[in-house]
A and B are shown apart, each in its own frame.
Chain A
Amino acid sequence: MITGKYTKSTFIIEMIAIGLGLLFLVPFYFVVVNSIKPFSEILIDAAALPKEILFSNYMKVWDILNFPKAFLNSLVITVFSIAGIVFISSMAAWKMVRTPNKLSKFLFIFFVSAMVIPFQTVMIPLMKLGGMLGIMNSIHGIILMYFGFGVSLSLFLFHGFVKTIPKEIEESASIDGASEFGIFWRIVFPLLKPIAVTVIILNTLWIWNDYLLPLLVLQDPELRTIPLATSSFFAQYTKQWDMGLAALVMGIAPIIVFFLFLQKHIIKGIAAGSIK
């Protein structure tokens, strides 16, 4: 629906839009600029550019946050949770679409309707159950929990996509004697790639940024993710904005880099995932 000509009014709209865009970026300006100032300079004028660039805030915070460890924990949890979610939900979705009976229909509604359950409603008993199963305070434990929480939306997205793939190819492969796992992984899964990208992106933004589940499950300071390390830093060093802002810049940097590299896929994936 884009109107083609570039007129005077388009130019005015463009100027307004750029103004709004800059307004959206103002918070980032404040955070980055002040993260390289000494504390006294922040107090005098937070809006001014720094007199000199100071990296000592970053160096101090790097150690206090134990940043490499927190980054690694976040990365391991995000990557393995998503690998598992993609694995189990794509397999289930395919089988359910290809076995159109009452059970499949019921299971599909069951999986999808659970999406309305707020996390707060399951978190309290889940902590008890997690203790009974021995999956508390461990990286692999929280990964298993993300499998359970991630499966609803991901299965829903895969399910919608599988319905659009013709099953003739699978049928001819099965006549040729390929096993079901072989058919799924060699023939079907490669076709699911577009929706798998969407699933991976949506789950990355959720799991990487998630705060409450790690807060409940990971008590050991060695297991802290980036959001957890940031919040415990702020609990300890309130109002020390010189270090606090450096911590925030370090905290948001990885996900922003991820976004800027994959922005086309991400924006497309978000739109596709929401419209379904």
Chain B
Amino acid sequence: MSSYAENKKVDVQTGKEQAMASKRKAKLKKILSYTAFVGPALLFFLIIQIAPFFMGVYYSFTSWNGVSAAVEWVGFDNYIKIFTDDQNFYNSFLFTTKFMFAAVIISNVTGFGLALILNTALKTRNILRTVFFIPNVIGGLLLGFIWQFIFVKGFASIGDLTGLPFFQQPWLGTEDTAFWGIVIVFAWQISGYMMVIYIAALQGVDNSLLEAAKIDGASYLKVLTRIIIPLILPAFTICFFLTISMAFKIFDLNISLTGGGPFNSTESVAINIYQEAFTNNRYGLGTAKSILFFIVVVIFTTCQVMFTKKKEVEA
């Protein structure tokens, strides 16, 4: 009798163990399949983006020159040097910030304007949409070379034909005009992209609202500022986010159009970092600059997103 009960107990126990084992097996299988699906993406992401990021934080406190094996810890020396004794970096920061404001405003105004125009019942709207978008598919490096020719030779010959002083200036030769030259090319490249986003947003606006406003006698400007813009604020958030980060990180276009000149006046932060590391071989200093660059990009973009999101809520 007792042995029977014992047997029964054992049976129950093995049953339980079996259930637990199969549960464990199922869990193991789940972990394995999770690893198989998510692992590859995570692995590349960690090795290519995250590991170098943290290495960069470390190297920014060293005197690493990229060649010698000895990497010496120097504490905050690089950062102190950047803040106290690096006029070029300061200038490039100032240039990049000014450029960003000008470029963001002009490319968004142009992009939004084009979107409003193409959102009317034009016969040529599809072709024009393609035309305005084309510059955006060409990379910044080639665009810079193209426009170098336009500014140097193309503008000069238009100037000869028309006699307009606007075209007769040495566009890439003076600091002011070179600055605006980069802004023009950036806007030419990006406006079509912004236009596509604004058009998508405008198409979501309810027509009956606009009709009602028109019947009430509202002017176009009123309809635009009181109804359309508030309704598509999310598109402004996206467009400002994209243009701010693209303008602030400008490199290719800048390198091929002006090469930072004249007299380093149009050298962006991205170029300055590149040269510090790969031309001057001061990797430690270069990484310190790149960490500061990262911090500023984060601050700019979060401020902007917070600001426009707040507007969205208010609207």
Q: A24-B188, A27-B154, A148-B48 are in contact. Are A121 and B202 (CB under 8 A)?
A: no
A3 at the interface (CB under 8 A from B): yes
B38 at the interface (CB under 8 A from A): yes
Docked complex Cα distance between A159 and B249 (Å): 27
Residues of chain B contacted by A34 (CB below 8 angstroms): 149, 153
Partner of B156, one of A5, A46, A107, A256: A46
- The reply to whether B48 and A126 contact each other, CB–CB distance below 8 Å, is yes
- The reply to whether B150 and A45 contact each other, CB–CB distance below 8 Å, is no
B198 to chain A, nearest CB (A): 10
A53 at the interface (CB under 8 A from B): no
- The reply to whether A2 and B119 contact each other, CB–CB distance below 8 Å, is yes
- The residues in A between 80 and 130 inclusive whose CB is less than 8 angstroms from any CB of B are 87-89, 91-92, 94-96, 99, 107, 111, 114, 116-129
- The residues in B between 256 and 315 inclusive whose CB is less than 8 angstroms from any CB of A are 256, 269-270, 273-274, 277-278, 283, 286-287, 290-291, 293-294, 297-298, 301
A67 at the interface (CB under 8 A from B): no
Residues of chain B contacted by A126 (CB below 8 angstroms): 48, 52
Docked complex Cα distance between A27 and B172 (Å): 16
Residues of chain A contacted by B37 (CB below 8 angstroms): 91-92, 94-95, 180, 184
Docked complex Cα distance between A6 and B121 (Å): 7
- The reply to whether A47 and B137 contact each other, CB–CB distance below 8 Å, is no
- The reply to whether A271 and B137 contact each other, CB–CB distance below 8 Å, is no
Docked complex Cα distance between A48 and B16 (Å): 90
Residues of chain A contacted by B212 (CB below 8 angstroms): none
A133 to chain B, nearest CB (A): 8
Residues of chain A contacted by B121 (CB below 8 angstroms): 2-6, 10
- The residues in A between 25 and 57 inclusive whose CB is less than 8 angstroms from any CB of B are 25-28, 30-31, 34, 42-43, 45-48
- The residues in A between 200 and 247 inclusive whose CB is less than 8 angstroms from any CB of B are 205, 208-212, 216, 227, 230-231, 234, 241, 244-245
- The reply to whether B196 and A119 contact each other, CB–CB distance below 8 Å, is no
Residues of chain A contacted by B293 (CB below 8 angstroms): 118, 120-121
- The reply to whether B298 and A116 contact each other, CB–CB distance below 8 Å, is yes
Partner of B141, one of A122, A227, A270: A227
Residues of chain B contacted by A28 (CB below 8 angstroms): 134
Task: Report the stretch among A11-19, A163-171, A191-199 that lies at the interface.
Answer: A11-19
B115 to chain A, nearest CB (A): 11
- The residues in B between 29 and 51 inclusive whose CB is less than 8 angstroms from any CB of A are 30, 33-34, 37-38, 40-42, 44-45, 47-51
Q: Which residue of A lies closest to B191 (CB)?
A: A24
Chain B interface residue number, banded: 35 or more
Q: A6-B121, A47-B158, A244-B149 are in contact. Are A118 and B297 (CB under 8 A)?
A: yes
Docked complex Cα distance between A126 and B205 (Å): 45
Q: Which residue of A lies closest to B127 (CB)?
A: A21
Residues of chain B contacted by A259 (CB below 8 angstroms): 133-134, 137
Partner of A248, one of B127, B131, B145: B145
Docked complex Cα distance between A2 and B49 (Å): 44
- The reply to whether B145 and A244 contact each other, CB–CB distance below 8 Å, is yes
Q: Which residue of A lies closest to B131 (CB)?
A: A21
A65 at the interface (CB under 8 A from B): no
B117 at the interface (CB under 8 A from A): yes
Give 1 or 0 for each of B179-222: 1 = CB within 8 Å of chain A CB. Answer: 00000000010001100110111111111001000000000000
B147 at the interface (CB under 8 A from A): yes
Q: Which residue of B lies closest to A14 (CB)?
A: B122
A136 at the interface (CB under 8 A from B): no
Q: Which residue of A lies closest to B54 (CB)?
A: A125
- Listed from nearest, the 6 A-B pairs whose CB atoms lie closest are A148-B48, A209-B139, A95-B37, A125-B55, A92-B41, A125-B52
**What are 25 A-B contacts with C-beta separation under 8 Å?**
A2-B120, A21-B124, A21-B128, A24-B131, A26-B154, A27-B135, A27-B150, A43-B153, A92-B42, A95-B33, A118-B290, A119-B249, A122-B48, A122-B56, A123-B290, A148-B48, A212-B252, A212-B274, A244-B149, A259-B134, A259-B137, A260-B130, A267-B133, A270-B193, A271-B196
Known: A230-B145, A231-B141. 9 other contacts (CB 8 A): A20-B132, A25-B131, A31-B146, A87-B40, A92-B40, A116-B297, A125-B51, A211-B141, A263-B130
